[in-house]
Amino acid sequence: MKRILLLLTVLLFASVDAGAVGGGVVIDGSTTVGPIAKSFAAYFKNRYGVGVTVSESGSGNGVKSLINGTCDIAAMSRAMKSREISAAATKGVNPIAHTIALDGIAIVVHPSNPVASLTRAQIAAIYEGRITSWAGVGGPNVRIVLVQRESNSGTQGSFGELVMGKGVRITRSAETHASNGAVKNRVSSTPGAIGFLGLGFVDGSVKVLAVNGVRPSLPAIRNGSYPVSRPLYMYTNGQPAGLVKQFIDFAGTAEGMRIVGELGFIAQ
């Protein structure tokens, strides 16, 4: 019986789809989705001895890797843009989105900041540069230090869509940082700073603000009452098969959902 089970396992993971890079699974993209992808990869390595490579170059670069055929899965914290879909089509690539979790974008400040809540309109005004002191939103007379993500970040794109609105630009005075961790470190060490993070990256080093009076809790994100929330995706070229399909489907298993929850995200 053990030999039969072993054979079945071997056959299962030998059925990697022909598009898999190097016979394993290669993932590139979002730093927000990164912890989920890495934890899934560790599980597959420990459970099945399967190699999964995870890179975190940002959602935009993940799309480019998928289009160029250098990854099997593009991890993204936003939906693909129409121009990216068009670019994929010109290369014969058919991007298929798979929602693996839900996430809230937490608006964070230094723990010493007495402000507890902002409206979405106030956050937009701050990032446009129209409000430059915390005194303008009921806080101390301290200059606001704006912290954002780089342009390839899915979190940056989602923040722009959900908070700033179409066509509204963040002021050039905002600092740009390359990862959730870098944003958190800057905000946690700067009393006047404000930034935004994927909820799974929040810890006691920063203070989370309510938005429109709602804090980014798991129930509030799941029921849609927290206004700055989004799905997290893994994109494949066409419908996945073999090992790539097994990896993506893992998000819907009991063990996959447990891992997603432990990382601070919301399982589907």
Q: Are residues 33 and 133 in the same domain?
A: no
Q: Are residues 175 and 247 in the same domain?
A: no
Q: Are residues 64 and 91 in the same domain?
A: yes
Report residue 23's pLDDT band, with 50, 70 and 90 as the boundaries: low
Is the pLDDT at 21 greater than 60? The verdict is no
Q: Are residues 128 and 184 in the same domain?
A: yes
Is 13 exposed, middle or buried, given 0-12, 13-18 or 19+ CB atoms closer than 10 A? middle
Which amino acid does the sequence have at 237? N
Q: Are residues 67 and 107 in the same domain?
A: no
For residue 6, the model assigns a pLDDT of 38
Contacts of 249 (CB under 8 A, 6+ apart): none
CATH of the domain at 132: 3.40.190.10
Is the pLDDT at 13 greater than 50? The verdict is no
Length of the chain in terms of residues written: 268
Q: Are residues 224 and 256 in the same domain?
A: no
Is the pLDDT at 5 greater than 60? The verdict is no
Q: Are residues 89 and 54 in the same domain?
A: yes
Q: Are residues 225 and 246 in the same domain?
A: no
pLDDT digits (tens, 9 = 90+) for 83-107: 999 999 999 999 999 999 999 999 9
Q: What is the dihedral of CA 82, 83, 86, 90, to 10 degrees?
A: -160
Q: Are residues 79 and 27 in the same domain?
A: yes
Is the pLDDT at 3 greater than 70? The verdict is no
Is the pLDDT at 18 greater than 60? The verdict is no
Q: How far is CA 208 from CA 102, 137, 177, 227, 253, in A?
A: 18, 16, 19, 14, 30
> What is the separation of C-alpha 248 from the centre of its chain, rounded to a whole number of angstroms?
16
pLDDT digits (tens, 9 = 90+) for 156-204: 999 999 999 988 999 999 999 999 999 999 999 999 999 999 988 999 9
**H helices of 59-145, where?**
59-68, 82-90, 120-128
Q: Are residues 237 and 216 in the same domain?
A: no
Q: Are residues 138 and 161 in the same domain?
A: yes
Question: In the numeric block, which tokens belong to residue 147?
Answer: 């912290």
Q: Above pLDDT 90, what percent of the chain?
A: 81
Which amino acid does the sequence have at 35? P
Comparing C-alpha atoms, which of 218, 214, 203 is closest to residue 260? Answer: 218
Range of the domain at 195: 103-229
Q: Are residues 195 and 116 in the same domain?
A: yes
Higher pLDDT, 64 or 3: 64
pLDDT digits (tens, 9 = 90+) for 202-213: 999 999 999 999
Q: Domains in the chain: how many in total?
A: 2
Q: What is the dihedral of CA 265, 180, 53, 36, to 10 degrees?
A: 0
